[in-house]
Amino acid sequence: MGKEVNGVSRSRFEMFSNSDEAVINKKLPKELLLRIFSFLDVVTLCRCAQVSRSWNVLALDGSNWQRIDLFDFQRDIEGRVVENISKRCGGFLRKLSLRGCLGVGDSALRTFSQNCRNIELLSLNGCTKITDTTCTSLSKFCPKLKHLDLASCTSITNLSLKALSEGCPLLEQLNISWCDQVTKDGIQALVRCCPGLKGLFLKGCTQLEDEALKYIGAHCPELVTLNLQTCSQITDEGLITICRGCHRLQSLCVSGCANITDAILNALGQNCPRLRILEVARCSQLTDVGFTTLARNCHELEKMDLEECVQITDSTLIQLSIHCPRLQVLSLSHCELITDDGIRHLGSGPCAHDRLEVIELDNCPLITDASLEHLKTCHSLDRIELYDCQQITRAGIKRLRTHLPNIKVHAYFAPVTPPPSVGGSRQRFCRCCILL
């Protein structure tokens, strides 16, 4: 075939050099054209492939197809398209997203696994035809796999996790959210053979109990991100094991896990000083005492979702304003004990002037226009949520906007009386809610 240049043989270059008279092909070496094509997206490459025979060879060369994301291109593809892609790309392909491709099933992914053995990142999020057979294929042929997204692939069971543990030891990130057939047995098999796991997304895996978390805590010292949203059976016992075994934890979501208490916040404060993101929405047993310990020990916190943590008061905001200078996003929706005084402390804290970007105060009935005055010096504030804050007025919002003209304010105001009819003819649109 002749000497190869970036995976394309010299003879293939020469095959079109005399017959293609386009100026660009005469001026630029084929090696340079190939390099240019390597920066193009899927759609543009396909268009270039239709220009001429020489461009077809270059545009469809496997070296240009190392990263493919079909989500913004075409989601109604059939399995044969994936098979053709795998044959075209072969060992070049490193990253492939088939997110939302409902027509892709196990057969196509078996062919893909056989042809693309260097794949490192694969997203099958929402590919609902996928079963354990696909994970068996990946285990057999794709030992370099590091990131795998199987969210909403509801046919996945423990067999998939056992297969991945046997054939994909380099796995760093796994998303099996809403795969509600997975139990502690699958988690145990996975973590024992994949010690490098850094991200586990288990949202909606409703069968998981504390025993599964104990396996994670014992075998995943590199864990950085853990999502357990709506895993309603877990308690303090399992999460404390996570905190003690995963000191590098930076992001934890346990929203909807109603059984947890301040013991978790204490454990996080004592063991996870790098924590940046904490989501504990609807965890109604958490109190100011736990958040005080957390704030005093986790100074790198950037995002906190405390929606419906109904027991917290201004005391929590005082501690956050003192000890968490990097805070950027804070949700206090339905925290009905929060008052203007808590917002005053937050607005005068070290995070306020340069960091705070979003604050959500929906359904905080004690909040008044005074809170908006306390926030007017928060120059980074991009968005504020004020739905159902009955004491907030349009005038207060207008004053805030004179200081922060680009801020997005989301609120509504219900009129005291129904809108009047004019001239006996009733208006056909509702004025009960005026959206700002």
Q: Side chain identity at 37, as an amino acid letter?
A: F
Residues forming a β-bridge with 278: 252, 304
- Residue whose entry in the numeric block shows the structure tokens 């005055």: 373
Task: Annotate 69-89 with DSSP letters as a single string.
Answer: E-TTT-S---HHHHHHHHHHH
Residues forming a β-bridge with 69: 97
Output the pLDDT for position 38: 78
How would residue 37 be classed by pLDDT, with cut points 50, 70 and 90?
confident
What residues contact 254, with CB distance under 8 A and at least 6 apart?
228, 229, 231, 234, 239, 260, 264, 279, 280, 283
How would residue 198 be classed by pLDDT, with cut points 50, 70 and 90?
very high
Output the pLDDT for position 295: 98
Output the pLDDT for position 56: 80
Residues forming a β-bridge with 166: none
Mean pLDDT, range 62-69, rounded to an integer = 78
How far CA 11 is from CA of 2, 14, 350, in Å, comes to 6, 5, 65
How would residue 73 be classed by pLDDT, with cut points 50, 70 and 90?
low
CA distance 270 to 294: 8
User: Is the per-residue pLDDT at 421 higher than 90?
Assistant: no
Which segment of 12-21, 217-226, 301-310, 361-370 scores lowest on mean pLDDT? 12-21
Task: Annotate 86-126 with DSSP letters as a single string.
Answer: HHHHGGG--EEE-TT-TT--HHHHHHHHHH-TT--EEE-TT
CA 183 to chain centre: 23
Output the pLDDT for position 228: 98
Q: How is the chain split among helix, strand and coil, in percent rounded to 5?
A: 40, 10, 50
Contact 265, 292 (CB under 8 A): no
228-244 pLDDT, tens digit each: 999 999 999 999 999 99
Burial of 399 from C-beta contacts in 10 A (0-12 / 13-18 / 19+): middle
Output the pLDDT for position 413: 72
86-125 pLDDT, tens digit each: 998 899 999 999 999 999 999 999 999 999 999 999 999 9
User: Is the per-residue pLDDT at 343 higher than 70?
Assistant: yes
124-155 pLDDT, tens digit each: 999 999 999 999 999 999 999 999 999 999 99
What pTM, to 2 d.p., does this model score? 0.86
Question: Could you tell me where the beta strands, DSSP code E, fall in 190-236?
Answer: 199-201, 225-227
CA 231 to chain centre: 18
Counting residues of the chain whose pLDDT is more than 90, the rounded percentage is 73
Query: CA-based Rg of the chain, rounded to a whole angstrom?
Result: 27
CA distance 213 to 280: 17
How would residue 215 be classed by pLDDT, with cut points 50, 70 and 90?
very high
Output the pLDDT for position 75: 63
Question: Would strands 8-9 and 4-5 be described as parallel, antiparallel, or unpaired?
Answer: antiparallel
Output the pLDDT for position 414: 60
Report which of 222, 294, 233, 225 is spatially closest to residue 258, judged by C-alpha positions.
233
Give the mean pLDDT of the chain: 89
Which helix (H) or strand (E) segment is 191 a member of? helix 184-193
CA distance 252 to 277: 6
Which helix (H) or strand (E) segment is 331 a member of? strand 329-331
